[in-house]
Amino acid sequence: MQEFSKKLAVQFKPKYLFAHLVLFGVGLVLLYPLIFMVTVGFFTEEEFMTTVLGLLPFAKQPTWENFLVLFNGSADAAIQQYFLNSTIRTVYATFWALLTALLAGYVFARLKFRGKEVIFLTLLATQMIPATVALIPTYLQFARWPFAGGNNIFTGGTGILDTWWVYLIGGPSINIMGAFLVKQSMEKVPYELDEAAKVDGAGTLRIIFRILLPLQMPIMAFIAITTALATWNDFITPFFYTSSDHLQTLPAAITRLSSAAASPGTVPNWPLIITLSLGTTLPALLLFFFFQKYIVQGLANTGIKG
């Protein structure tokens, strides 16, 4: 108790107090959009339209309607289906990212073969291509997928566009950045560990999964979190390569609502759009909140500094 009081007294020293006040202020600024989203969620469309919003808008006639739509969906928004799709896609893409990053990282960190550096640099160079540049070529690639979707070899049908294959094949490619991070991290592990395991009779897979993987946990957690966040928030893939409602994810559904709002002549239902955005943001935020320490640990392990 005495120690606690001592600590508290230190915290209240002017220099710490000032720092805390600044941090509190910054924290409030960062949290403000979330608070705003929650309070706006209680507005009806009509009240939102006619109210001049203050810094903290409170509805005069609060309604749960927007939150009910967030959880139950509506006639033209099957929210539960979108939520399920987002979850399946995120889990699947994260699993693949981890697997490919680990295996590719091992190959580039541990194996010796001709052209290794060239291949690695080539793979890294692909990361420099902006995603938007690849949109139309990828669309064509999916549309021309051999013998799929009515294609007579390459043409005649729609390929794998507007099917789950878009997410299964197109989404989870080799995670290059993850492979790079694993390679950096693995290179710090003494090679003697591998040799000792080999002497004990371990094969390559056992070395990867039983010896090296446990040592890569922080970086694997980092890759998992960043991939999960990116996939959860990705609206481009579902929006661009699929059209059917049953394939949509939450961000894509929100983009649809927002683009309907941008269409002249339609009254945008901002409280609903903002509430749905909150529904997209929260799971990602919680994931980040609970696992943020791994992000720091993971990056520290690779020797990359911000």
The binding site for another protein (CB under 8 A) comprises: 46, 49-52, 73-78, 80-81, 85, 88, 92, 95, 99, 135-136, 139-140, 143-144, 149-150, 155, 158-159, 161-165, 167-168, 203, 205-206, 209-210, 239-240, 242-247, 255-256, 259-268, 270
In the complex, the smallest distance separating the C-beta of residue 252 from another protein, rounded to whole angstroms, is: 9
Q: Which is nearer to another protein, 52 or 128 (CB)?
A: 52
Q: How far is the CB of 161 from another protein (least distance, A)?
A: 6
Give the shortest CB-242-to-another protein separation in angstroms. 7
Q: How far is the CB of 269 from another protein (least distance, A)?
A: 12
By beta-carbon proximity to another protein, the closer residue of 58 and 95 is 95
Q: Which is nearer to another protein, 168 or 177 (CB)?
A: 168
Q: Which is nearer to another protein, 88 or 295 (CB)?
A: 88
Q: Of 127 and 263, which has the nearer Cβ to another protein? A: 263
Residue 197's nearest CA partner among 215, 175, 182 is 215
We find the least distance from the C-beta atom of residue 199 to another protein, in angstroms, to be 17
Write down the least CB distance from residue 261 to another protein, Å.
7
DSSP for the chain? Answer: -HHHHHHHHHHTSHHHHHHHHHHHHHHHHHHHHHHHHHHHTT--HHHHHH----SS---SS--SHHHHHHHH-BTTB-HHHHHHHHHHHHHHHHHHHHHHHHHHHHHHHH---TTHHHHHHHHHHGGGS-GGGGHHHHHHHHHT-TT-TT-BTTBSS-TTTTSTHIIIIIS----HHHHHHHHHHHTTS-HHHHHHHHHTT--HHHIIIIIIHHHTHHHHHHHHHHHHHHHHH--HHHHHH--SGGG--HHHHHHHHHHHHHSTTS---HHHHHHHHHHHHHHHHHHHHHHHHHHHHHHHHHT---
Q: Which is nearer to another protein, 270 or 291 (CB)?
A: 270
| Residue placing its CB nearer to another protein in the complex, 85 or 301 | 85
User: Do 283 and 251 touch, CB atoms closer than 8 A?
Assistant: no
Instruction: Name the minimum Å distance from CB 22 to another protein.
Output: 28
